[in-house]
Structure 1
């Protein structure tokens, strides 16, 4: 019988604890937004929740651009294998031609 390793996040209780810690940190940071005075360069930076919204929008844009780039840059699964197979076929064809013309021995 195989022994399956239990990792930290395999237990749903640990995942819930981690989420609670994240939510608590978010609540503390939003609370600090009401208290801490920021020295801003532009008027919109002083809006309540500007930086969290800016970060969220930035992450969404990053994911959308990455998906677009994946479609643009993605290659077939056998991209490299196909190129070596074609080169092998070309070499074999050239060798056959050389043998027929007497430039190489079979």
Structure 2
């Protein structure tokens, strides 16, 4: 039991986080490269832009975060909400 308490978890080590991030970056780069090779059945002309889906996904995530930050202003309750 004492052995488990002293051992650190995988995500507690910064070098493991760096390795994991590198793997994710490589996967993202490979998906963008594959986008140039794989034939897509497009419905709109703007889907023909290189890396369109990567750009679309990134912009979508940024917009979601910005909307959530604005919603927080009127949805957030005070710290002492349950103490009242």
Question: Unpaired segments of 5 or more residues in structure 1?
Answer: 83-106
1:7 aligns with 2:18: no
Question: Unpaired segments of 5 or more residues in structure 2?
Answer: none
Residues matched between the structures, number:
80
Q: Following the alignment from structure 2 to structure 1, what is the Cα–Cα distance between the partners of residues 33 and 8?
A: 37
Deviations 1:65-101 (A, max 9, x none): 111111111121122321xxxxxxxxxxxxxxxxxxx
The CA RMSD over aligned residues, in Å, is 1.4
Q: Once superposed, which parts of structure 1, at least 4 consecutive aligned residues long, lie more than 4 Å away?
A: none
TM (normalized to structure 1)? 0.69
| Structure showing greater relative contact order (alpha-carbon pairs closer than 8 Å, 6 or more residues apart) | 2
TM (normalized to structure 2)? 0.85
Of the candidates 32, 35, 38, which is equivalent to residue 37 of structure 2? 35
